[in-house]
Chains A and B, each alone.
Chain A
Amino acid sequence: MKDLKSRPDTVARNVRNIPRSGIRDFFDIVSSMPDTISLGVGEPGFLTPWHIRDAAMFALEHGATSYTSNLGLQKLREGLSDYVERYFHVRYDPEDQILVTTGVSEGLDLAIRAIVDPGDEVLYHEPCYVSYGPVIRLSHGVPVAVETSPETQFQVTADLLRKKLTPRTRALVLNFPNNPTGAVIERGELEKIADLVIENDLLIISDEIYAELTYEGEHTSIASLPEMQERTLFLHGFSKAWAMTGFRLGYCCGPSRLIAAMTTIHQYTMLCAPTLSQVAGIEALKDPENDVERMRSEYRRHRNFVVHSFEEMGLPCVTPRGAFYAFPHVSNLGLTSKQFALRLLEEERVAVVPGEAFGPCGSGFVRCSYATGFEDLKEAMKRMKRFVQRLR
């Protein structure tokens, strides 16, 4: 057989050009170190609530093993419609405005593919979840990062966005509460962004996967602002608030013409989200306040604890108001964030993720997930404190 490795052009150009994820590199190093306490995980430390797992097992016993319609189970879409109206104050028609996807990851990919023509520019704010740039590129779009900083509490502002607008700007990706910074966005700022979007005839893709994990104030969805529902693709799912990452269950709500476009792609690439997961989702929507509140109150306590610990260590940290990450600044200790993370791992066996994995402006920071057991969190903070003291 001919060695295909010798011919780099066997891999499509826009795939070849996508850099390897910084998280991936770090994952390989951490995996080789036993006894590591990891604060590097982007998922809840809880198991999925038992009644949801129980419902999934019951469904499996009763043969929920076939396809569903492309959009997803009717009952799930009806449940989602009610839930989104109650929690986010926007009403979507379960018949043609909600598409159930295999996680928000698929929803994001579909949304970008449905609206981006080659060369279209898509704005997104950094530091951010690792997918946005690559997914835009895979659609032959041009990702345009807008850097945020502690000065605005890592909020993106209409002013920052305006500077990056060009005639080719097609859409804007928002993600609040934010991974990796834990930032939320004020309603007033969202209103200014909405004006900008209307003025420039843009679309919004709003990834609100962490919405329920908001610790202060009320979460506002940009889709709920006047005239924004028709311009917004709202992405949400079960992974974070219900601790269901492995179920791979998300959904997208939006104007019917855009949902139809996304469904065109979804039907040929995914067909439908996993049936068993959809049944579990129906169960999850039965008592959401109870499940979510239990986890949220624990995360809030963990958040307070880590922020307090960073204060004691003298590490500047914007108080995260959502998600389950803290993003302290570490580079005034004479190390880059990557060196900090590597040495913390080697010397104290604590894994955190260097901020540059979430975009160049994340450099100097590290992401610490506090969605882990409190015993582990206490031990991790103790070790980190010892490490920081040695560096001073």
Chain B
Amino acid sequence: MDELLKILKNDALETPENIAAQLGLSPEEVRSKIAEYEARGVIRGYQAVIDEDKLDSRRVTAVIEVKVTPQREGGFDLVARRISKFPEVESVHLVSGAFDLLLFVSGENLQEVASFVSEKLAPLESIRSTASHFLLKTYKHHGILMEPQDQYERLKVSP
């Protein structure tokens, strides 16, 4: 991966000036490279990584395995795109193995997610079966650990 993307993936709020100093570029060059990545759709957006367990209104998220009958002249894409349109669905992946699509679906509570599955998702044509797993606790998300880590203290000065 390009060094610029590595930096942004780690901290999307890093300033163009600080990025420029690390990469030996000018801040203008960094700005235009970022704009180019955005225009090409390599960078799709910027989000905060939120520890939902710390919020009072704890939303629920389920991982849903979906088995699909691929459609003529569309394979998995047609149904995957259709599922992606639901705002309840946070992510959709086509996967190898015992099932075909892996979804992350979230809602205000368990009932909301369950009824989305039974009323919106399962009735879709070409969906053969679903299996829902509700997330109980998140330990790591987008490469970030959700629990404070013990820091073993380094010496302050050493040769």
Contact = CB atoms under 8 A, between A and B. Distances in A.
Interface of A: 21, 23, 26-27, 30-31, 36, 38, 40-43, 45, 129-131, 179, 297, 301-302, 304-305, 308-309, 351, 353, 357, 374, 378
Contact of B157 (A26, A131, A305): A26
Contact of B155 (A27, A130, A131, A305): A27
Contacts of B3: 297, 301
B156 A304 contact: no
A328 B41 CA distance: 42
Contacts of B11: 374
A40 B6 CA distance: 27
Contacts of B154: 38, 41, 43, 45
Given A40-B156, A304-B22, A308-B24, 5 more contacts: A31-B156, A38-B154, A41-B155, A353-B157, A357-B159
A30 B158 CA distance: 11
Contacts of B159: 21, 23, 42, 129-131, 179, 357
B156 A36 contact: yes
A23 B11 CA distance: 34
A304 B157 contact: no
Interface in B20-78: 21-24
A42 B23 contact: no
Contacts of A43: 154-155, 158
Interface in B84-143: none
B156 to A, nearest CB: 5
A305 B156 contact: no
B144 interface: no
B12 interface: no
Given A297-B6, A301-B7, A42 B21 contact: no
A41 B158 contact: yes
A297 B154 CA distance: 22
B18 A305 contact: yes
19 contacts: A23-B157, A26-B157, A27-B155, A30-B156, A30-B157, A31-B156, A36-B156, A38-B154, A41-B155, A41-B158, A42-B158, A43-B154, A297-B3, A302-B22, A304-B21, A304-B23, A304-B24, A305-B21, A351-B156
A351 to B, nearest CB: 6
A351 B6 contact: no
Nearest to A303: B22
Interface of B: 3, 6-7, 11, 18, 21-24, 154-159
B156 A301 contact: no
A365 to B, nearest CB: 15
A378 B21 CA distance: 11
Nearest to B1: A297
Contacts of A21: 159
A305 B24 CA distance: 8
A309 B21 contact: yes
Nearest to B24: A304
Contacts of A42: 158-159
Contacts of B22: 301-302, 304-305
Contacts of A40: 156-158
A26 B159 CA distance: 11
B18 to A, nearest CB: 6
Contacts of B24: 304, 308
A301 B23 CA distance: 6
Find the residue from B22, B23, B154, B159 having the highest chain A CB count within 10 A.
B159
A61 B8 CA distance: 39
Contacts of A41: 154-158
Contacts of A26: 157
Nearest to B25: A304
Contacts of A302: 22
Nearest to B6: A297
Nearest to A45: B154
Contacts of B23: 301, 304
Nearest to A246: B152
A92 to B, nearest CB: 28
A304 B4 CA distance: 14
Contacts of A130: 159
A309 B21 CA distance: 8
A309 B17 CA distance: 11
Nearest to A352: B157
Contacts of B157: 23, 26-27, 30-31, 38, 40-41, 351, 353
B59 to A, nearest CB: 30
A222 B22 CA distance: 31
